Amino acid sequence: MKIAVDFPSVAYREGPEKVLALATAIEEIGYDEIAAFDHVVMGHPGEGRRTIYSAEMPILEALMLLSNVAAVTTRVSLSTEVLVLPQRQPVLVAKQISTLDTLSNGRVRLGIGVGWQDSEYDALEENFSNRGKRMDEAIDLLRSYWSGGRIAFRGSYYDSHDMGMEPVSPQGAGLPIWVGGDSPAALRRTAEKADGWMASGVTDEQALLCVENIRHQAEELGRGANEIGFQLMLQPPPRTDEDKVFYADLDAVAERAAVVRAMGFEWTSVNATGIFQAGARSVDAMIEQLDVIHGRIRSEVG
């Protein structure tokens, strides 16, 4: 099983040097990937406004963070978990991801989702109501640009006529795109267009039902059983006091990793912000705990 680390933006409070030190340590410990969380802005609570995280939550811009990580690592893959694609201009994203893939020597895995925060869409002057339809089209547009040559793309929302882009991603149109979300549209999108599914915020029972749904739809579309990968977070972002101590209990972490592996997921991710919340309140302490956690997970699941 491959293990990603969801990078803790809170590390920036100790300075940029510590951000890079944490990235290099994650690679040296033996993790397979460094993943970046994505929100551009967070809304303060207000009437009729949905909020999940604090507006003061530290979140480094995902692609800028990964470009810095790419410069100090050589092996780990680099992913977004997940980039809220419809609130960004997709041609610019195609360029940014192609550049990141070029400068990292082909190490990018792009996780994408439609997001949930309408106030963030408003702040970025993007349409929240049609975000799913635009994401479907944006996936096709990204792959068109990564294919190289002259681009002739005409869609309902995006047009790129007689355009070109260099450099082309080293992985080309095969650069892996993984979809997050458990709505019927997200599952259909995964089965039809994606290379994998990133599960988060669902029960184990729900996750297995989603996997079954995706595989069934993919089969109907003529896709093979091994064409789609699956990832389940070791633990969703902590919200309760009980959740916040999860990563301090190594036996619980190891047992949970074994469960995720037994469910058939090839990828899991460790939430380093959860490690911070569990008591590792500095970058050095997070590195120490990440090392111990990695050892316990590997001894449990290989």
Choose the CATH number for 2-301 among 3.40.640.10, 3.40.50.720, 3.20.20.30, 3.90.280.10: 3.20.20.30
pLDDT band of 241, cuts 50, 70, 90: confident
CA–chain centroid gap for 259, Å, is 21
Query: Quick one: pLDDT at residue 4?
Result: 99
pTM confidence score: 0.97
Q: What is the mean pLDDT of residues 135-163?
A: 97
Query: Quick one: pLDDT at residue 171?
Result: 98
CA-to-CA separations, 298 to 41, 69, 78, in angstroms, rounded: 36, 24, 20
Query: Quick one: pLDDT at residue 48?
Result: 84
Residue 208 has a CB neighbour count (10 Å cut-off) of: 17
Look at 130-144, 157-171, 183-197, 238-252 and tell me which has the smallest mean pLDDT.
Answer: 238-252
Query: Quick one: pLDDT at residue 47?
Result: 85
The closest alpha carbon to 248, from 301, 211, 290, belongs to: 290
What pLDDT, in 10s, does the model give residues 181-211? 999 999 999 999 999 999 988 999 999 999 9
Q: Where are the domains of the chain?
A: 2-301
What pLDDT, in 10s, does the model give residues 82-118? 999 999 999 999 999 999 999 999 999 999 999 999 9
Query: Quick one: pLDDT at residue 176?
Result: 99
The runs of H, that is alpha helices, within the chain are 16-29, 62-72, 90-103, 118-123, 131-147, 184-193, 204-220, 250-262, 272-277, 283-301
Q: Residue 238: pLDDT above 90?
A: no
The closest alpha carbon to 39, from 108, 123, 98, 95, belongs to: 123
The runs of H, that is alpha helices, within 41-166 are 62-72, 90-103, 118-123, 131-147
Among positive and negative, which fits the CA dihedral 64, 69, 75, 81? Answer: negative
pLDDT band of 242, cuts 50, 70, 90: confident
Look at 18-32, 64-78, 134-148, 230-244 and tell me which has the smallest mean pLDDT.
Answer: 230-244
CA-to-CA separations, 60 to 27, 177, 190, 260, 272, in angstroms, rounded: 19, 21, 27, 28, 14
